Amino acid sequence: MGKKKSKQKKVLPYEIGELDQYLFGQGTHYEIYQKMGAHKAVRNGKSGVYFAVWAPHARRVAVVGEFNDWDFEADYMERQEPVGIYTCFVPEAKEGDLYKYCIETKQGKRIFKADPFANYAELRPGTASRITDIHNLKWTDQLWMEGRKTWDNKKSPMSIYEVHPGSWMRHPGREDEGFYTYREFAKAITKYVKEMGYTHVELMGIAEHPFDGSWGYQVTGYYAPTSRYGTPEDFAYMINYLHRNKIGVILDWVPAHFPRDVHGLADFDGTPTFEYADPKKGEHPDWGTKIFDYGKPEVQNFLIANALFWIEHYHVDGLRVDAVASMLYLDYGKQDGQWTANKYGGNENLEAIAFFKHLNSVVLGRNHGCVMIAEESTAWPKVTGTPEEDGLGFSLKWNMGWMHDFTEYMKLDPLFRKNAHHMMTFAMSYAYSENYILVLSHDEVVHLKCSMINKMPGEGFDKFANLKAGYAFMMGHPGKKLLFMGQEFGQLREWSEERELDWFLLSELPHQQLQAWYRDLLHLYKKNRAMYELDTDPEGFEWINANDGFRSIFSFVRHSKDGKKNLLFVCNFTPVERPDYCVGVPRRKQYKLILNSDDIKYGGKGEVRPEIYKAVKKECDGRKYSFAYPLPAYGVAVFEF
């Protein structure tokens, strides 16, 4: 007689089974967050909570919380092999209870850790996790989600408003910090974004973090929307509300590093668990943070599942991946002797490269119409190239080179701009090497760099006129657009997370006029296909005159795909009027003035100008045809033809 088959233990739907452990150990359990953490469950007819945590080098693990008076001997967890996941079912635990894991290290020391997979956390300065149920969120954004599947960022407008929710707007005079809840913020930001004409918001500081001054870039709760602004249900309401109003949502996401806070991921089970064990690979000397170990399948799984968690569970439309360069280079921010070379002797982090290819393939492969955006500050090749062609697989890349050249040029006294003319044209020499977003982000208006308006030379009118010309050039240049909050109306002070924007400035005319200018630029961008549909195609852009350095004037054309509605931009970056200005044009057509910075509503003189200009056969800018237009000081004119 044959041997009896051994009975396999029946695994309940919420429990960690052998397959879960296998996939997690391979780095491919993309829904691991449905099993790990704290989940409401029923066992033998009793309601309770099932806990699961990865602590491979722990001697013992217990779950402690309000349900057992924080007694570390009350609820020890069972170790599941082979990957070292600890689990237990606690019938006394209920939704809303605070909890932590008490981990006994190999040395016998007890450490108390927040749950890496927690979906909700205690409001700082508290550091405990909170049991919550996010399985029954109410979604009413089906139309948006269906349309997202066929959305193509390469052919669509994308103008992003970068926002820190806690300091965008606050309730005045409240005894607490006055934060808007997610629900309040949803309604206020939607109204503003629709009026202005942005297509997306990019939200900073959403994943739970202990220190406000980190702006959310030192995360302890990767799976928890911060409790500063409300509950997970409130967060889902915000996404829903924005989607129903046709506004896309991008989150900042930080897979590069995490803080040393004792309740967080650092030395999680008493050993380097989530980080590299070698301090030369596992620590950022400048930032004082830990670096994820991208060579561990479980760590890769933690991060990739987290990206999918935000996009699939919370319906987020994309992630802006922070500090990509710090992940790609082993010597990033390090001196000689502070870093370890790869197996070939180079400074590339081969494991991080493989991680990005895996991450982007899975996220974008499963979620058509979503975007993965790299904040990558070097000339690393093929950041937006496909993994099949040895690219990293991102959808878009922040154009930090353009941003640097643009801001340095704009800071110059107009008298000296003629010697730096190339700084505004150079980006076109590499504009099609990646799929770019032009960014003027929060990083440019902190740490004594000045707000955008105070980067501008001159006083009063000159500052505002300079910035209006700069914004028009940015909007006309190929690439998606991003502007940090407050810069659209000329915030004077540098940004601080400790206060709301200086909305009171909008009682003053120059700030109203700048806001109106940027609003009308955004609507022009969104309304005209020539501004975006050939962003990644050289056919979409044509210089008329890139070499008028002496007068610091730039003229160029944005072409639509069908050639029916093209736009001619003329931007004057000096305070010198050009009453006899002549511009060469591609065709002998009529040119309709559709945007004029000299309009009185934008702070101009309001001189009456004709709407239609007819090109004549007169050579200018190396073209057969041209027309004359009186170009004001710092004047911008946009013509449709």
What distance in Å separates the CA atoms of residue 231 and residue 598, rounded to the nearest whole number? 48
DSSP label of 212: G
What distance in Å separates the CA atoms of residue 444 and residue 452, rounded to the nearest whole number? 8
Please name the helix (run of DSSP H) or strand (run of DSSP E) that holds residue 99, with its range, or none.
strand 98-104
Summarize pLDDT for 117-139 with one digit per residue, the tens. Answer: 999 999 999 999 999 999 999 99
Please determine, for residue 534, whether its predicted confidence score (pLDDT) is greater than 60.
Answer: yes
Q: Judge if 157-531 and 538-640 fold alike in CATH terms.
A: no
What distance in Å separates the CA atoms of residue 102 and residue 108, rounded to the nearest whole number? 12
The mean pLDDT of 68-95, rounded to a whole number, is: 96
Summarize pLDDT for 496-532 with one digit per residue, the tens. Answer: 999 999 999 999 999 999 999 999 999 999 999 999 9
Alpha-carbon 395 to chain mean position = 12
DSSP line for 543-590:
EEES--TTTTEEEEEE--TTSSS-EEEEEE-SS--BTT-EEEESSS-E
Average pLDDT, the chain: 95
Which of these, 544, 618, 627, lies nearest to 580 by C-alpha position?
627
Q: Compute and round to an integer the Cα radius of gyration of the chain.
A: 27
Name the CATH superfamily for 157-531: Glycosidases (3.20.20.80)
Q: Is 375 tagged catalytic?
A: yes
Give the 3-state secondary structure of residue 540.
Answer: helix
Q: Which two tokens stand for residue 10?
A: 């029946």
Domain 18-130: which CATH number of 3.40.50.261, 3.30.1300.30, 1.10.10.10, 2.60.40.10: 2.60.40.10
DSSP line for 429-496:
GSTTSS-EEEEE-GGGGSTTS--HHHHSSSSTHHHHHHHHHHHHHHHHSSSEEEEETTTTTT--SPP-
What distance in Å separates the CA atoms of residue 151 and residue 143, rounded to the nearest whole number? 12
Q: What percent of the chain has pLDDT over 90?
A: 96
Catalytic residue among 375, 434, 443, 500: 375
Summarize pLDDT for 217-275 with one digit per residue, the tens. Answer: 999 999 999 999 999 999 999 999 999 999 999 999 999 999 999 999 999 999 999 99
CB atoms within 10 A of CB 62: 21
> 199 Cβ partners below 8 Å, 6+ apart?
156, 157, 158, 159, 160, 247, 248, 526
User: What residue spans define the domains of the chain?
Assistant: 18-130, 157-531, 538-640
pTM for the model stands at 0.95
Which of these, 40, 27, 70, 35, lies nearest to 53 by C-alpha position?
35
Please determine, for residue 1, whether its predicted confidence score (pLDDT) is greater than 90.
Answer: no
Measured CA to CA in angstroms, residue 368 lies from 311, 332, 582 at distances of: 11, 33, 46
Summarize pLDDT for 452-474 with one digit per residue, the tens. Answer: 999 999 999 999 999 999 999 99
Please determine, for residue 65, whether its predicted confidence score (pLDDT) is greater than 80.
Answer: yes
What distance in Å separates the CA atoms of residue 495 and residue 514, rounded to the nearest whole number? 18
Please determine, for residue 549, whether its predicted confidence score (pLDDT) is greater than 90.
Answer: yes
Please determine, for residue 448, whether its predicted confidence score (pLDDT) is greater than 70.
Answer: yes
Q: Is 322 tagged catalytic?
A: yes
Question: 70 and 110 in contact (C-beta within 8 Å)?
Answer: no
CB atoms within 10 A of CB 510: 17
Phi, psi of 49 (to 5 degrees): -135, 135
Confidence of residue 173 (pLDDT cuts 50, 70, 90): confident
Architecture of domain 538-640: Sandwich (2.60)
> 438 Cβ partners below 8 Å, 6+ apart?
399, 402, 403, 406, 474, 477, 479, 480, 481, 482
DSSP label of 312: I
Confidence of residue 10 (pLDDT cuts 50, 70, 90): low
Q: What percent of the chain has pLDDT over 70?
A: 98
Looking up tokens 């002070």 gives: 493
CA geometry: angle at 324 spanning 320 and 326, to 5°? 145
Summarize pLDDT for 309-335 with one digit per residue, the tens. Answer: 999 999 999 999 999 999 999 999 999
DSSP label of 39: E
Confidence of residue 179 (pLDDT cuts 50, 70, 90): very high
The mean pLDDT of 19-37, rounded to a whole number, is: 96
Catalytic residue among 115, 162, 298, 322: 322
Give the 3-state secondary structure of residue 68.
Answer: helix
Q: What counts of helices (H) and strands (E) characterise the chain?
A: 14, 30
Which of these, 79, 123, 82, lies nearest to 101 by C-alpha position?
79
